[in-house]
Amino acid sequence: MTNPFFSIIIPSFNSERFIGDAIRSVLAQTFRDIEVIVVDQSSQDRTVSIVQEFAAHDPRVRYANQTGEKGPARARNQGLQMATGRYVSFFDSDNILLPEACATVKKLIDAEGERDVYFSDMRYFETGRPERLLAFTVQCVSEVTLEELVHQNFINLLGTFLRREVVAKFGGFDNRFRTCEEHILWLRLVLWAGASFRHIPKVLGHLRFHVTNLTWRPSYFVEAAETNFVIYGWLEKEIAEKIEERRRGPLLARIRALRAQWLFRAGLGGIVLRDRQLARNYFDRWMKMAGKSAVFRALLHVVLAVAPLAFLSPLIMYFRRRFVMRRYVSVSA
């Protein structure tokens, strides 16, 4: 039996509500030379039995229980070790891959030759309202550069296909992180591998919007901020060592500004969690890094001491959702 061309890797945890739709969307690919690897993180619901039922009827579906410590990055890395395809795609258990996704990438490879990373546009959809698609406004670029990736992570894992040997060579995902782990992977591929990226100006997947998304948990503010603060700290050292001087200055200035911004967001996360001391600690670190005056710091401490957190916490979550949703517009199915 020859190895498949694509390996689709799906980490799962208590995913019984959505895992069936996810696997069916992969098996419905018009390009059929694929394998599906589901790495489960000790689910307590029916996830495993659902996956095993698919595996019993289609030999392209493989199941593994995650060994060692849990976490989506570790599950993806275990799937990467199991994969035999030339290209891999990492796909969350609540999302949908459109039928022509693999065929679209394969046609590009045949027409243009291989790139290391293919990434596409995507759309969100709401659970229970599949007819309502939300068009994701991607910052489409013809060439991925370090400067653009420093500014923001505009490449989502959904609808992204990576040459397996390149990802494996640089260790896959960073196991330290539970969020934003794909951002540091893209940065490493650019900095360490000089990887070639190809944007596909086409929607290849639908990303599910639901209340249990990791990004809507109250703790996500702090988790994402801490992760990004560490990522940009690592990146600051890498750029200082590896990038030529004419590019280095603007990049380092931008990174320091972004690290300060993430500390501010972590302070907001403390308010969301209704933890006054946590919020104060993060805001203190933000003010020190941003060079705020002693008067400004004193005023902010007073505000934090009297702020009605029970009111501000849901208000911040509401405006965060509105802020995220500003990037989406309703379109017809």
CA distance 162 to 90: 9
Measured at the CA of 262, the angle between CA 180 and CA 229, to 5 degrees, comes to 60
Predicted pLDDT at 143: 74
Residue 199 has phi, psi (to 5 degrees) of -80, 135
Predicted pLDDT at 316: 86
**105 contacts 115 by C-beta, under 8 angstroms:** no
Torsion angle, alpha carbons of 253, 234, 281, 213, to 10: 110
Predicted pLDDT at 1: 57
Predicted pLDDT at 139: 44
Angle between helices 245-272 and 276-290 (to 10 degrees): 160
DSSP-derived 3-state class of residue 316: helix
Q: What is the DSSP string of 82-129?
A: H--SSEEEE--TT-EE-TTHHHHHHHHHHHH---SEEEEEEEEEETTE
Amino acid at 251: L
**193 contacts 169 by C-beta, under 8 angstroms:** yes
**233 contacts 174 by C-beta, under 8 angstroms:** no
Predicted pLDDT at 141: 61
As beta bridge partners, residue 64 has 39
The CATH number of domain 6-215 is 1.10.390.10: no
Closest CA to 73 of 165, 159, 185: 185
Helix locations, the chain, DSSP H:
19-27, 47-57, 72-82, 101-112, 146-151, 164-169, 181-193, 220-242, 245-272, 276-290, 294-306, 309-325
Mind listing the pLDDT tens digit of every residue in the chain (333 residues)? 589 999 999 999 889 999 999 999 999 999 999 999 999 988 899 999 999 999 999 999 999 998 777 788 899 999 999 999 999 999 888 899 999 999 999 999 999 999 999 999 877 776 655 445 454 444 456 678 899 899 888 898 999 999 999 999 888 998 888 788 899 999 999 998 889 999 998 889 988 876 555 666 778 889 889 999 999 999 999 999 888 888 899 999 999 999 999 999 999 999 999 999 999 999 999 999 999 999 999 999 999 999 999 999 988 887 776 665 555 444 333
CA distance 267 to 257: 16
CA distance 247 to 145: 12
Distances (CA, A) of 308 to 81, 110, 220, 222, 272: 49, 60, 21, 19, 11
Q: What is the pTM of this model?
A: 0.88
Residue 111: other Cβ atoms inside 10 A: 7
Where exactly are the structural domains of the chain? 6-215, 217-324
